[in-house]
């Protein structure tokens, strides 16, 4: 984007400072220091390099900007307001207030122009790595000689806190390995965090650290010198094979006579008296929230943004003329739409699984489903945290992703993330936010603890991300309690807007994948077994997608009586329920077996459907090899579960030890009916 002509850089920077301190003061809450310290960095990037169009915040070919140190949210709010986005000054006055477009930390789809929800430090830079990866892979897939329709950059502001969080190591190491040359991070090196000067506890040589990752390192430069930051950004844009870190030395709270350079500027309002001194020192003679027309004119990006988008539209029209099928495919994928005919492909895959009735682990059932889906959906981008052979997330359509010395990708669609569960989860969030791909990645279920906050962020941001969690219970056996998931299914079900599936066989697994791929506004966790599970015969596949369904009535085991109780089971325990049903039938006791692969999906069904599956007057007994707490909400009279950690022993021994046998399930049902 062309440079702003002869801008008054001091005026532009001070407009950001004034809006930041005024909004924090009015809210009596927030972080004024970071925006005040990064104001000149923002002038250099947003005024001279960033390709964006305030009139169309979702323009596909825009540069992405991520404020990883999201506590400094008033920086991005000020920039969006000043450059011409639909963010009027009234919203800045309502900073951190109920239902405003300026929440305490930036939130995607709340504020126009915000690319990702940031606040948990380290995740913003990691999202940005995912965005830059998505851009690179889309460019490789869709660009043709003379038609580079995908050619944008990802810029990040980040601070000490982001670099202290371990996830930044995971993500930035990957960015170097992937040669993401269009990723540029600007490090606000102010040396201050909430507890004060960081030097007693943060002694990293950041430049050497990033050099070791395979990044370009530029600086340190004076972060308050717009020309110096501008030159550094120009240097970064010239990189052919490496991401770039620009180290910007700044003073937190720049402009505040008594708070600048101290932790006092970090997370509290400056106060009326100090703000008056800032205004005097900056020569800012305007009332709170008043910005002079000259500053608005210097910042206004609407004309240049519209021109940039118009030029791209013209280029894309030429691309569409030359490559109509590619153009249509690009537009479909960027809209997040599934191709015509996918519903039929998914239905056929489920029917095939039903007809074959194979006895396999559900992790293998997942791979079988993925074989069909990755072939049909080029947007599926898989991976695993160093457990590919265990998670089975690779398919014949998804060779391993690799990058040559020139930075070019080899066309692979399966990512070896290494032992980086948290980084993988947050990178997938960035890929989903960018658009063009549906990311999925695998690890053991017990390691969902490592990635939990990124899973939560995906749910908060309503992103279509699929987590493949295998080795879902004590059924993994000899590895012992460190790897045996007990509380994980229950804890994941507590995350709002996260779908959790624990399927029992190949058909349920295929349907779970179908629902996950179709979930455009929520992530999904698939909890899959290591051990083989026999196919559970079923009359129909119709209701599996509702999260729970009647799997077997008493008549199906030879008992012509109305059910006296309902056994609810998930995953590997469905077979226990079916065997217990047969034992009880032999004693004349009629029970219904309900398979509930997804409690979260079932909970969204109508009351009528729920009652058709779980009749109000029938006692309910749940069976799952995990903690019992989550099952009582279904009005269960008893739960066969596991409220302790496991042991190291073969799976069969453990299931018997902890009462996961048909005999024990049948005995529990009898006790309930005897009450």
Alpha carbon distance 643, 648 (integer Å): 16
Q: How far apart are CA 389 and CA 133, in angstroms?
A: 24
SS3 content of the chain, % helix, strand, coil (to 5): 45, 15, 40
- Give tens-digit pLDDT for 627-660: 999 999 999 999 999 999 999 999 999 999 999 9
pLDDT tens across 391-433, in order?
Answer: 999 999 999 999 999 999 999 999 999 999 999 999 999 999 9
pLDDT per residue over 173-226, tens digit each? 999 999 999 999 999 999 999 999 999 999 999 999 999 999 999 999 999 999
What percentage of the chain carries pLDDT values higher than 70?
A: 99
**Residues 6 or more apart whose Cβ sits within 8 Å of residue 271:** 25
Q: How is the chain split into domains, by residue range?
A: 7-306, 341-528, 545-674
Annotated ligand binding at 210? The verdict is no
Q: Is 471 annotated as a binding residue?
A: yes
46 contacts 186 by C-beta, under 8 angstroms: no
Domains 7-306 and 545-674 share a fold: yes
Is the pLDDT assigned to residue 487 strictly greater than 90? yes
Q: Is 192 annotated among the ligand-binding residues?
A: yes
Q: What is the pLDDT of residue 675?
A: 87
Which alpha helices (H) appear in 357-420, and where do they start and end?
362-376, 388-391
- Enter the DSSP assignment of 225: -
Options 3.60.21.10, 3.40.50.261, 3.40.50.970, 2.60.40.650; which CATH number does 7-306 get? 3.40.50.970
Sheet holding 549-552, edge to edge: 549-552, 591-595, 565-569, 620-623, 638-640
Tell me the average pLDDT across 613-638.
97
Report pLDDT digits (tens) over 219-276.
999 999 999 999 999 999 999 999 999 999 999 999 999 999 999 999 999 999 999 9
Residue 394, token pair as written in the block: 């690779």
Q: Does 259 show up as a binding residue in the annotation?
A: no
Q: Is the pTM of this model over 0.95?
A: yes
121 labeled part of a ligand binding site: yes
pLDDT of residue 517: 98
What is the structure's pLDDT at 7? 56
pLDDT band at 528; cut points 50, 70, 90: very high
Say which residues have a Cβ less than 8 Å from residue 673's Cβ, sequence separation at least 6: 564, 565, 589, 619
What is the arithmetic mean of pLDDT over 130-152?
Answer: 98
Give the Cα separation of 335 and 379 in Å (integer).
Answer: 12
- Answer yes or no: is pLDDT of 2 > 60: no
Q: Do the beta carbons of residue 159 and residue 337 sit within 8 Å?
A: no
Is 119 known to sit in a ligand binding site? yes
CATH of domain 545-674: 3.40.50.920
Q: pLDDT (tens digit, 9 = 90+) per residue, 435-464?
A: 999 999 999 999 999 999 999 999 999 999
Buried b or exposed e, range 479-505, using 16+ CB within 10 angstroms: eeeebbbbbbbbbbbebebbbbbbbbb
**Residue 415 assigned ligand-binding role:** no
Classify domain 341-528 at the CATH topology level: Rossmann fold (3.40.50)
CA-CA distance, 491 to 468, in Å (whole number)? Answer: 16
Q: What is the pLDDT of residues 278-307, one digit of tens each?
A: 999 999 999 999 999 999 999 999 999 999
Backbone phi and psi for residue 267, each to the nearest 5 degrees, phi listed first: -130, 35
Confidence of residue 5 (pLDDT cuts 50, 70, 90): very low
According to the annotation, is 31 in a ligand binding site?
Answer: yes
Q: What letter would DSSP give residue 114?
A: -
The pLDDT, as a whole number, for residue 3 is: 42
Q: Is 434 annotated as a binding residue?
A: no
Q: Among 40, 107, 274, 421, which one carries the catalytic annotation?
A: 421
The confidence score (pLDDT) of residue 4 equals 39
Distances (CA, A) of 496 to 110, 126, 405, 493: 18, 22, 43, 8
Residue by residue, DSSP assigns 518-551 as H-TTS-EEEE--SSEE-----S-STTGGGS-EEE
Euclidean distance between the first and the last CA atom of the chain, given in angstroms as a whole number: 76
220 Cβ neighbours under 8 A, 6+ residues apart? 189, 207, 247, 248, 249
As a whole number of angstroms, the distance between CA 361 and CA 532 comes to: 4
Q: Is 14 helix (H, G, I), strand (E, B) or coil?
A: helix
Confidence of residue 588 (pLDDT cuts 50, 70, 90): very high
Q: From the DSSP assignment, how many helices (H) and strands (E) are in the chain?
A: 26, 20
Q: Cα separation of 451 and 423, whole Å? A: 7
Residue 164 CA to chain centroid, in angstroms?
Answer: 21
Annotated catalytic, 91?
Answer: no
Phi and psi for 419 in degrees, rounded to 5?
A: -80, 75
Residues 6+ apart with CB under 8 A from 668: 621, 638, 640
List the structure tokens of 549.
């369904």
Ligand-binding annotation for 120, yes or no, is yes
Would the pLDDT of 50 be above 50? yes
pLDDT higher than threshold 70 for residue 40: yes
411 CB burial (10 A radius; 0-12, 13-18, 19+): exposed
Nearest to 502 by CA among 469, 464, 546: 469
Residues 288/26, Cβ–Cβ less than 8 Å: yes
Strand (E) or helix (H) holding 122: none
Q: Is 81 annotated as a binding residue?
A: no
Report how far apart, in Å, the C-alpha atoms of 247 and of each of 237, 239, 581 are: 15, 16, 66
Cβ atoms within 10 A of the Cβ of 442, count? 30
Range 32-42 average pLDDT:
98
Contacts of residue 554, defined as CB under 8 A and 6 or more positions apart, other chains included, come to: 560, 561, 562, 563, 581, 585, 590, 591, 592
Burial of residue 606 (CB within 10 Å: 0-12, 13-18, 19+) is: exposed
Mean pLDDT over each residue of the chain, to the nearest integer = 97
* Residue 1: predicted pLDDT: 41
Residue 479 labeled ligand binder: yes
């Amino acid at each position: 984007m062309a440079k702003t002509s002869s801008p008054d850089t001091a005026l532009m920077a001070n407009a950001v400072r004034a809006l930041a301190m005024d909004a924090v003061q009015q809210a009596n809450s927030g972080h004024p220091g970071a925006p005040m310290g990064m104001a000149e960095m923002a002038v250099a990037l947003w005024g001279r390099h960033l390709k964006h169009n305030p009139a169309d915040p979702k323009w596909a070919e825009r540069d992405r900007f991520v404020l990883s140190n999201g506590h400094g949210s008033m920086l991005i709010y000020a920039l969006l307001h000043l450059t011409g986005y639909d963010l009027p000054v009234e919203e800045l006055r309502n900073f951190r207030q109920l239902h405003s477009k300026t929440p305490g930390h930036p939130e995607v789809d709340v504020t126009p122009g915000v690319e990702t929800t940031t606040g948990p430090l380290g995740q913003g830079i990691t999202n940005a790595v995912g965005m830059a990866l998505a851009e690179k892979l889309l460019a490789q897939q869709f660009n043709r000689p003379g038609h580079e329709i995908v050619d944008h950059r990802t810029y990040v502001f980040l601070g000490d806190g982001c670099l202290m969080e371990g996830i930044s190591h995971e993500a930035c190491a990957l960015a170097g390995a992937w040669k993401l040359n269009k990723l540029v991070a600007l490090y606000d090196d102010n040396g201050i965090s909430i507890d004060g000067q960081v030097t007693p506890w943060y002694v990293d040589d950041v430049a050497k650290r990033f050099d070791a990752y395979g990044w370009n390192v530029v600086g340190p430069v004076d972060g308050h010198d717009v020309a110096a930051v501008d030159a550094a950004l120009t240097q970064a844009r010239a990189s052919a094979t490496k991401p770039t870190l620009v180290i910007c030395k700044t003073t937190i709270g720049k402009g505040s006579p008594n708070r600048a350079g101290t932790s006092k500027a970090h997370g509290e309002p400056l106060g009326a008296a100090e703000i008056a001194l800032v205004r005097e020192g900056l020569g800012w003679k305007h009332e709170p929230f008043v910005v002079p027309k000259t500053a608005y004119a210097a910042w206004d990006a609407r004309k240049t943004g519209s021109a940039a988008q118009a030029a791209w539209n013209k280029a894309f029209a030429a691309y569409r003329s030359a490559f109509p099928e590619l153009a249509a495919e690009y537009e479909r994928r960027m809209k997040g739409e599934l191709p015509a005919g996918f519903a039929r492909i998914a239905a056929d895959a489920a029917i095939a699984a039903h007809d074959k009735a194979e006895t396999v682990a559900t992790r293998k059932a997942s791979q079988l489903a993925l074989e069909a889906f990755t072939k049909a959906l080029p947007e599926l981008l898989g991976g695993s945290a160093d457990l590919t052979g265990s998670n089975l997330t690779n398919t014949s359509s998804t060779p391993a992703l690799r990058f040559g010395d020139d930075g070019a990708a080899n066309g692979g669609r399966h990512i070896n993330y290494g032992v980086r569960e948290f980084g993988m989860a947050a990178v997938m969030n960035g890929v989903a936010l960018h658009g063009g791909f549906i990311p999925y990645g695998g690890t053991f279920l017990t390691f969902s603890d490592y990635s939990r906050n990124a899973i939560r962020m995906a749910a908060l941001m309503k992103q279509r991300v699929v987590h493949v969690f295998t080795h879902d219970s004590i059924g993994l056996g000899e590895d012992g309690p460190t790897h045996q998931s007990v509380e994980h299914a229950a804890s994941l079900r507590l995350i709002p807007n996260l779908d959790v599936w624990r399927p029992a066989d190949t058909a349920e697994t295929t349907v779970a994948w179908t629902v996950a791929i179709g979930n455009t506004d929520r992530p999904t966790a698939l909890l899959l077994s290591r051990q083989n599970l026999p196919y559970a015969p079923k009359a129909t596949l119709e209701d599996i997608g509702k999260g729970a369904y009647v799997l077997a009535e008493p008549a199906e085991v030879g008992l012509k009586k109305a059910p006296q109780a309902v056994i609810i089971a998930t995953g590997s325990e469905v077979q226990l329920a079916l065997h217990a049903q047969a034992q009880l039938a032999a004693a004349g006791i009629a029970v219904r077996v309900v398979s509930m692969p997804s409690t979260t999906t079932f909970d969204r069904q109508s009351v009528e459907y729920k009652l058709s599956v779980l009749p109000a007057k029938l006692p309910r007994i749940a069976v799952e090899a995990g903690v019992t707490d989550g099952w009582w909400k279904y009005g269960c009279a008893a739960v066969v579960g596991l409220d302790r950690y496991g042991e190291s022993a073969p799976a069969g021994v453990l299931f018997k030890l902890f009462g996961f046998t048909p005999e024990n399930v049948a005995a529990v049902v009898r006790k309930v009916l005897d009450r």
